[in-house]
Amino acid sequence: MTLSEKTVIITGASRGIGAATARHFAEAGARVVLAARGATAIEAIADEINAAGGRALAVPCDVADWASVSALVARTREAFATVDVLINNAGVIEPIARLDESDPAEWGKVVDINLKGVYHGIRAALPVMLGQGGGTIINISSGAATGALEGWSHYCATKAAVLSLTRCTDTEYRDHGIRVMGLSPGTVATEMQVQIKASGVNPVSQLDFSVHIPPEYVAKGLAFLCTPGGDAFLGTDFSLKTEEGRRLAGLPSA
């Protein structure tokens, strides 16, 4: 699949990985739909893409709310007719805290965004993709999906659940033309790493900001997964932390 003339929904598109992905996919000829709670930010990025000759639409959306995500998909179909790619990128890590100090309400909000938000995206996009004969769903994953880190119980638990959701969706819909996989980027130079650094909790917070990959690398990894080469990773996570992963995505060695 080439990205030209394909419709791509990107959640969490107001900054970081989401914003970089919207720009990269638009440059590749895709029609991009930027979704995030911050309307002003996504509208500015969409205006930038459109001014450069691309096609972009900004749709304010709270992924934790099913009605909001359902409306996002409906608005996308109104504008561009199809939903060819869904990138479930929206996610949060704050507040970072050990379990005995965690706030149950805030812990639950992370579940609503990181896990239920991904489910909402999949649930809203699947009927459209099935009706058009296929589509690609990529969930942003993490090494936290299979590892435990101090202060990250909410993040580790939700990313583990998202990996399981990736596997379940693949099991149910691969034979119906739905390509679903995760992308585990490693540490990325975004606002999330600023928050992690400020927490001072666990070894990740001790990393120098210069060691994190730029979000543009992740965008290239996502574009690779939209090609036939991504089929080798259906139902699992593709990692940019390995030399093979970087090579496949056309990125420099670590």
Structural domains in the chain plus CATH codes: 7-248 (3.40.50.720)
**Could you tell me if 49 and 23 are in contact, meaning their C-beta atoms sit under 8 angstroms apart?**
yes
Among all chains, which residue has been given the structure tokens 């975004």?
190
| CB count in 10 Å sphere of residue 244 | 9
107-158 confidence digits (pLDDT tens):
999 999 999 999 999 999 999 999 999 999 999 999 999 999 999 999 999 9
195-222 confidence digits (pLDDT tens):
999 999 999 999 888 889 999 999 999 9
- Confirm whether 155 is a catalytic residue: yes
Catalytic residue among 119, 155, 173, 217: 155
Q: Please give the structure tokens belonging to residue 81.
A: 């007719």
Residue type, 61: C
Helix-, strand-, coil-residue percentages of the chain, each rounded to 5: 55, 15, 30
